[in-house]
């Protein structure tokens, strides 16, 4: 990352080539974009680097199927070496935004491969808490005014639904459509034979002897036929 910030691509390219198969598994475009920046850097040296740029363009071959349009643009820019890329229709290739983008992509993909969070988990928790705190304080005040402070006693569930936005969603959360409760390790989601999913607690409450009827369709089954689902 330090090298990228200094516009030195070689260490990142070497890392991307070493981890090529893992990057393919997460559909990463990192390696191609690193080679694109290296190619553009050669173009900036003018006609004297034409042969070197053409030779370097061989690195685009593995990415021809996924980035055909980008490669066409890069090769077309070779026609304007004499007048300078900055004075051609391809001047956008020199935009600083590409360097900012490559730093973001490298950070994201490297953290993904290492199983690390891009951001500090502590700072994410603090920001999420700052968003969630005002509604909780409001509901607490209302409960104290109405003297119903004992209504909310479940420590694993909030008294109101708090929307934090897409940026704070990291995994799927199942909420039982019957009991309106989020699933837990002790109350996991269960799939009925008809395909509908309810919580384990709801399954127990809907059981009538040895039979349980789906609340959404007329299908009946044995409670033991329900299968636990893992998100």
- Which mean pLDDT values do the consecutive 10-residue runs of the chain (231 residues) have? 92 94 92 94 88 92 92 92 88 91 92 83 88 85 72 62 78 80 87 91 85 87 90 76
The pLDDT assigned to 136 comes to 83
The whole-number pLDDT of residue 40 equals: 93
Cβ neighbours around 39 below 10 Å, total: 22
- Residue 210 is predicted with a pLDDT of 81
> Residues 190, 167: contact at Cβ < 8 Å?
no
Q: What pLDDT, on a 0 to 100 scale, did the predictor assign at position 33?
A: 95
0.85 exceeded by pTM: no
In DSSP terms, 207 is beta-bridged to 212
The confidence score (pLDDT) of residue 70 equals: 93
Distance CA 81, CA 68 (A): 21
CB-based contact 109:26 (threshold 8 Å):
yes
Per-residue confidence (pLDDT) for residue 17, from 0 to 100: 93
What do you get for the CA distance between the two ends of the chain, in Å?
34
């Amino acid at each position: 990352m330090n090298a990228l910030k200094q516009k030195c691509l070689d260490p990142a390219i070497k890392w991307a080539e070493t981890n090529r198969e893992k990057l393919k598994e997460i559909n990463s475009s990192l390696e191609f974009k690193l080679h694109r920046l290296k190619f553009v850097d050669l173009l900036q040296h003018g006609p004297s680097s034409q042969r070197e740029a053409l030779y370097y363009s061989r690195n685009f071959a593995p990415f021809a199927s996924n980035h055909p349009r980008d490669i066409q643009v890069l090769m077309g820019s070779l026609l304007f070496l004499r007048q300078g890329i900055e004075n051609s229709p391809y001047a956008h290739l020199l935009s600083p935004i590409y360097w900012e983008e490559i730093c973001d992509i490298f950070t994201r993909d490297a953290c993904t491969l290492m199983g690390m969070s891009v951001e500090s988990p502590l700072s994410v928790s603090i920001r999420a808490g700052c968003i969630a705190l005002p509604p909780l304080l409001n509901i607490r005040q209302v409960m104290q005014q109405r003297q119903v402070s004992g209504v909310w006693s479940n420590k694993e569930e909030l008294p109101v639904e708090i929307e934090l936005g897409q940026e704070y969603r990291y995994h799927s959360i199942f909420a039982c459509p019957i009991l309106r409760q989020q699933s837990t390790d002790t109350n996991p989601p269960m799939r009925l034979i008809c395909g509908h999913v309810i919580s384990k607690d709801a399954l127990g409450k809907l059981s009538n002897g040895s039979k349980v009827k789906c609340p959404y369709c007329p299908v009946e089954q044995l409670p033991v036929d329900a299968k636990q689902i893992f998100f």
